[in-house]
Chain A
Amino acid sequence: MKNAIRELRAARGWSQAHLAGLLDVSRQTVIAIETGRYDPSLPLAFSLARLFEQPIETIFFPDQETA
């Protein structure tokens, strides 16, 4: 699943470490999510949505829309 976390983070001028601190997760976790290597759980996805003040579907989107 793709996501816009890197762009949203960059727009706020936050480092990966800062975002990790706000989410109370490791920096490796933020890196893995940003690079699409890991899809977060729903609770973590909701935390991201709250943090960026955007609905989940504007942050995460599937690689390819299914029919």
Chain B
Amino acid sequence: MHEQRVARAYRAELFMAIAVYVVLLLASIGYGRPLPDGALRTAVLLAPMIGFGLMIRAIARHVRRIDEYQRLRLLEGLALAFAITGAVTFSYGFLETAGYPKLSMFTVWMVMGASWGAVCIARALQARRTVEP
């Protein structure tokens, strides 16, 4: 079945990318941090991004595999998550001016992930109402 085949391929590629990321992250923490400042330390500390690159590849291949309607839904979901992330990060930017603590840029990614998750859950609940038993 189309969905299962697509999901299986995506899971396999994504898990492989995450595994590479985790291994390189642990290696960069263990070996990269004690290194003296310089090009080698920078390269070792950035090494986990190879796993991130593989994740981008997995996502690009997944987008090619899914059907036209799923692609449209994905785009709509991302557009909404993009807008929500913009609203949340801008709001917090104003709050920082008002004295709230400065947050790391990593937070933006978490907000984006959470926004996308919320949009996907809302869409899934909406779709459930029209599914035949």
Residues on A with beta carbons closer than 8 Å to the beta carbon of B37: none
Say what secondary structure dominates the interface of chain A.
helix
Residue pairs across A and B with CB atoms within 8 Å: the count is: 46
Q: Is A54 an interface residue (CB 8 A)?
A: no
For the complex, is B42 an interface residue (Cβ under 8 Å from A)? Answer: no
Which of B1, B66, B130 is the one whose CB lies under 8 Å from A35? B130
* Cβ contacts under 8 Å, B72 to chain A: 38
Q: Which of B1, B68, B131 contacts A29 (CB 8 A)?
A: B68
Chain B at the A interface: mostly helix, strand, loop or mixed?
helix
Smallest beta-carbon distance A35→chain B, Å? 6
Asked if A25 contacts B2 (CB within 8 A), the reply is yes
Contacts of A25 in B (CB 8 A): 2, 67-69
Contact of B2 among A26, A32, A44 (CB under 8 A): A26
Is B127 in contact with A24, judged by CB distance below 8 angstroms? no
A49 within 8 A of B: no
| Contact, CB under 8 Å: B2 / A20 | yes
Residues of A near B1 (CB, < 8 A) are 17, 20-21
Chain A residues, CB < 8 A from B3: 20, 26-27
Tell whether, in the assembled complex, residue A31 and residue B131 are in contact, meaning their CB atoms are under 8 Å apart. Answer: yes
Interface, chain A (partner B; CB < 8 A)? 15-17, 20-21, 23-29, 31-33, 35, 38, 40-41, 44
7 closest A-B pairs by beta carbon, nearest first, are: A29-B69, A25-B67, A26-B3, A24-B2, A38-B69, A21-B1, A29-B67
